[in-house]
Amino acid sequence: MAKPVAIEVYNPNGKYRVVSTKPMPGTRWINLLVDQGCRVEICHLKKTILSVEDIIDLIGDKCDGVIGQLTEDWGETLFSALSKAGGKAFSNMAVGYNNVDVEAANKYGIAVGNTPGVLTETTAELAASLSLAAARRIVEADAFMRGGLYEGWLPHLFVGNLLKGQTVGVIGAGRIGSAYARMMVEGFKMNLIYFDLYQSTRLEKFVTAYGQFLKANGEQPVTWKRASSMEEVLREADLISLHPVLDKTTYHLVNKERLAIMKKEAILVNCSRGPVIDEAALVDHLRENPMFRVGLDVFEEEPFMKPGLADMKNAIVVPHIASASKWTREGMATLAALNVLGRVKGYPIWNDPNRVDPFLNENASPPNASPSIVNSKALGLPVSKL
């Protein structure tokens, strides 16, 4: 069997062979697999993104399951190879699975796992961080200081936007969007306008209650409004954060026409998926509107940025780090490993993939279940009654 170099092996005599295409944070995920009789192989090949051929070499002739990354192309070729090797499961170490052809996985009877329920607060925190950094021009000011350009205080030096009393707009008020909204409303006393196909009753109740608290203490209460269209949010909000899913309906959701209806000094934040923004149109808009600012964690054609974006001083760009807190990344590794382990051992599927705390408690054994299998219904897999 051909193998890439630099493979780290744990429990070489284990009954089940589980491969991880990348080293992952923490050791709990390794220990959980080893304790259940798995031979764990971790690829240390010095390539940021493994090719399909690299992964086929890793799978080899016998492989029970693979833990992979969202940068990998999991389609017909890889699922066919995994099936021939006797594999039952693949899990992304990510909540998203746009890199996975689920129909191909169904064809070969392979379960596809993901890791929701552990990224919510961490992703919302980064969106809030980008919001504040853009509003107060922190990255520009940091570069200015490091460049030795500061000669003393000036009245107009890096004047930015005050968030208090302004309106934050959220497009997509699911778990992450709602968590972000709560942070901005409570942390900066911003008013909220949101657009979602479904009413976010819990979020509305939170803002109402906080507004009543402020009023009782002699402060201006915050308000909320559910917009009837995305355009309404874009027109009215001073700060907009994008939290939609990525599908055919949300591709280039923010385009040239929609950028044009936003306020000239608005701030746009995206920690969801890169292609929801027409990045080329965004570069043009940033160039033509120097007081418009953006904070991006994701990009249309990762790992690349559209020409000109890196030159825009009114853009803050970070390399897809929304989930990059120690607790979250270790939790993602644990959930991905348990997705694969569950299928290898024949465990049922956890009944609520967004409530995964029992799997993350390091002081107790995790439930005998796969935390989140996206194609469980298509494969007819049983659901846990735990």
CA dihedral 35, 50, 52, 32 (to 10 degrees): 10
Reply yes or no on whether 302 is catalytic: yes
Reply yes or no on whether 329 is catalytic: no
Cα–Cα distance measured from residue 14 to residue 33, given in angstroms and rounded to the nearest whole number: 10
Of 126, 24, 46, 107, nearest in space to 340 by CA: 24
| Active-site residue, from 28, 136, 252, 320 | 320
In the three-class reduction of DSSP (H, G, I as helix; E, B as strand; rest coil), residue 95 is classed as: coil
Q: How far is CA 77 from CA 2, 73, 112, 145, 323, in A?
A: 17, 9, 15, 51, 29
Cα–Cα distance measured from residue 15 to residue 170, given in angstroms and rounded to the nearest whole number: 48
Reply yes or no on whether 320 is catalytic: yes
Q: Does residue 261 contact residue 234 with C-beta atoms inside 8 Å?
A: yes
CA dihedral 151, 152, 158, 160 (to 10 degrees): 170
| Active-site residue, from 39, 273, 285, 329 | 273
Angle at the Cα of 121 from the Cα atoms of 118 and 127, rounded to 5 degrees: 125
Neighbours of 192 (CB within 10 A): 26
Backbone phi, psi, residue 39, to 5°? -85, 120
| Catalytically annotated residues | 273, 302, 320
